[in-house]
Every structure is written in structure tokens, then in C-alpha cells.
Amino acid sequence: MILERWHCFCGVFRTFGGCIIVILLAFGIYQSVLYFGHKIVPNSDFPAFVRVARQLLSFEVPSSFKRVPVLGILQIGLSKFVSGDHPELTAGWLLNAILHPLSIVLLYLVGKRFLGYRAVWFALIAGINPWILNLFREPIAEKQH
């Protein structure tokens, strides 16, 4: 009886796995909305990522190659579409908010090969891990999933 109702609720997705993916996405989006801009002062690595990307985008040799420039380039590119006093900071939060739900679903999909449908618990526990939530508040999209 309950499974029939659940199947009716998820009839659009045709499978139980599709329903789990939608629920995990909704959970990740909820967390993204909840923690967006939660930590106002970024960690000390944030300016280094942006500085290296700015130097590369202006065709200058970076002063240091300690930071991979891809993240900074993504943040600068995304900052052209957001507004505010610090668009790179907002772009970092937005990038993190986009990638967090996708990483939860990715953990479920990878874990499903090894754990079956119990991988949903693996993805949920990883999504509520305090270490992950602390890193999730940072604007540099640095996750330890």
C-alpha cells in the first residue's frame, strides 16, 4: 500500500532510484539555500585563487603557481553575472551552492554500485558531516567528499 503511494508520487521518474536522486537534490538545494553567504569573511586562500586567475586572464605570468587557476577562473567568470559589493565572493558561494547538491547525488550514484540502495544513507551522512558543512560555507568550493 505504502509502496504503491510512493510509486504514484514518483511515477514521473519511473524508478525508485530516480526518486532518491530527486530527494537528494532537493536536500542539497535546501542546504545550499540555508548556508548561502553564511560565512561572511572568507578564508585566507580565497584571494590567492582569485589573484592567480586574474593574472592569467590578463595574460600575465602568475606570481605563484601554488593555487590551481581553474577555480579562480570559474569564480571570475561567474562574478560577471552576479552583483554586490564583492562579486567574486558571491560567485564563490554560488559555485559552492551549485556543486554541493551535485556532489551529494554523485556520492549516491557511485556508492550505489557498491552499497546498493543503502548508498542513500552514505550520501546523506556525507551531506550532513560537520566537516563538509564547515567547508561548504567557504567560497572556494573545496570539498573533501
List the pLDDT tens digit at each of the 145 positions of the chain: 444 555 545 554 567 778 899 999 999 999 999 988 887 777 777 888 888 888 999 999 888 878 778 888 998 999 999 988 889 888 888 988 899 999 999 999 999 999 988 999 999 999 999 888 888 788 775 554 4
Whether 25 maps to a domain, the answer reads yes
Whether 142 maps to a domain, the answer reads no
Whether 145 maps to a domain, the answer reads no
pTM of the full structure: 0.78
Whether 98 maps to a domain, the answer reads yes
Whether 126 maps to a domain, the answer reads yes
Q: What is the span of the domain harbouring residue 90?
A: 2-136
Structural domains in the chain (count): 1
The number of C-alpha atoms within 13 Å of 104 and in the hemisphere containing its C-beta is 30
